Amino acid sequence: MDKYLTVILIFMIVGIPISFVNPSTGELRDPPFIGLFYASIAGIIVIMLYSSYKERKTRQKANAKRRSKN
C-alpha cells in the first residue's frame, strides 16, 4: 500500500471514534455523527479495494514480463 493511502487510511480509522466521542470533552455525543461514521467505513473499504486492485495489476505485469523472457 502506498504511504499516501496509508495516511488517508489512518485518518479514516481515527474518524470513526471521533464520530461518537467529542474530542474536546471526551464525552459521548448525544446525536453521533452517523455521516462521518459511514463515510469513514466507506473510505476504508474503497482504499482496501483500490490497494488490492493495484497490487494485483502490478503482480500480473510482473508475471507477464517473467513469462515473456522464456
Centroid of chain to Cα 1: 10
pLDDT tens track, the chain, 70 positions: 788 999 999 999 999 999 999 888 889 988 999 999 999 999 999 999 999 999 999 999 999 888 887 5
What sign does the dihedral 58-63-66-67 (CA atoms) show? negative
The neighbour count for residue 31, using CB atoms within 10 Å, is 5
With a CB cutoff of 8 Å and minimum separation 6, the contacts of 16 are 37, 40, 41
**What's the pTM value of the predicted model, to 2 decimals?**
0.78
> What pLDDT is stored for residue 70 in this prediction?
58
Centroid of chain to Cα 68: 35
> What pLDDT is stored for residue 68 in this prediction?
84
∠25-26-30 over CA atoms, to 5°?
A: 90
> What pLDDT is stored for residue 30 in this prediction?
87
> What pLDDT is stored for residue 44 in this prediction?
95
